[in-house]
């Protein structure tokens, strides 16, 4: 069975691929962005299942999912994500995705879900799909200033521009950015903005 794993996080992609290859003998193709994934789909017989990282380069939200669904000839295409919320998962399933895999899933459960989808079934973890939305809870842990700074980051503004807009010192904005990254478990300010948009925090 041929499976395509597309994720820009090398460790995530390679761990899933190795587990599928070593434990189940599957033929795994890997890609680090949407363009490479689409090329792999075009140049191969249809994959039994394609797994796309929602946040990887080229995805542009759910546009990448739509393209992959067309290219994979009606065979299953699913999303995997560490940041997308339930609303995005529901939208993806409504578009025809075979499933949604949160990166918080245990490795064994994720592998079983991938095999389940390859058999033509729809998969979405019940606890994730029925849980209360996280975005308001996440936002409630931010101060007013942090929310203002986060909004500025999401709008692509520099620390200096944000400081001018909300009447703060630039060094204070810089501290807020550092705190936001810690609270949102973001790697950098761009990642923080992506998380905020995905969770409808801004």
pLDDT, tens digit (0-9, with 9 covering 90-100), for 116-174: 998 889 998 877 776 644 444 455 578 889 989 999 999 999 999 999 999 999 999 99
In terms of domains, do 190 and 144 share one?
Answer: yes
Distance CA 131, CA 191 (A): 24
Residue 25 and residue 123 share a domain: yes
pLDDT digits (tens, 9 = 90+) for 63-81: 999 999 999 988 999 999 9
Percent of the chain scoring above 70 in pLDDT = 94
Higher pLDDT, 34 or 142: 34
The answer for residues whose C-beta is within 8 angstroms of residue 163's C-beta and 6 or more apart is 169, 170, 172, 173
Of 130, 146, 164, which residue is a domain's last? 130
Mean pLDDT of the chain: 88
92: nearest Cα among 116, 65, 71: 65
Q: What is the mean pLDDT of residues 42-54?
A: 93
Contact between 177 and 153 (Cβ < 8 Å): yes
Assess whether 124 and 82 both reside in one domain.
Answer: yes
Same domain, 110 and 18: yes
- The answer to whether 46 and 73 are in contact (CB under 8 A) is yes
| Residue pLDDT, tens place only, 109-122 | 888 899 899 888 99
Residue 12 shares a structural domain with residue 73? yes
27 lies in the same domain as 119: yes
CATH number where 8 lies: 3.40.50.2300
Same domain, 167 and 181: yes
Range of the domain at 47: 2-130
- CATH number of the domain that 144 lies in? 1.10.10.10
Provide the whole-model pTM. 0.65
| Span of 22-31, 35-44, 93-102, 128-137 with lowest mean pLDDT | 128-137
């Amino acid at each position: 069975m041929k499976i395509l794993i597309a994720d820009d996080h090398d460790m995530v992609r390679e761990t899933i691929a190795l587990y599928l290859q070593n434990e189940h003998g599957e033929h795994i193709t890997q890609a680090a962005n949407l363009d490479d994934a689409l090329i792999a789909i075009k140049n191969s017989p249809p994959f039994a299942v394609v797994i796309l990282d929602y946040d990887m380069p080229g995805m542009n939200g759910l546009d990448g999912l739509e393209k992959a669904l067309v290219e994979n000839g009606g065979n299953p295409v699913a999303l995997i994500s560490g940041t997308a919320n339930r609303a995005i998962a529901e939208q993806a399933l409504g578009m025809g995705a075979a499933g949604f895999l949160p990166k918080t899933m245990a490795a064994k459960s994720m592998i079983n879900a991938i095999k389940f989808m390859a058999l033509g079934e729809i998969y979405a973890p019940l606890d994730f799909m029925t849980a209360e939305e996280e975005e308001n809870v996440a936002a409630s842990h931010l101060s007013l200033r942090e929310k203002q700074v986060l909004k500025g980051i999401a709008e692509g503004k520099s620390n200096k521009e944000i400081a001018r807009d909300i009447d703060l010192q630039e060094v204070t904005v810089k501290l807020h950015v550092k705190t936001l990254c810690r609270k949102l478990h973001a790697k950098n300010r761009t990642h923080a903005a992506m998380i905020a948009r995905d969770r409808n925090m801004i």
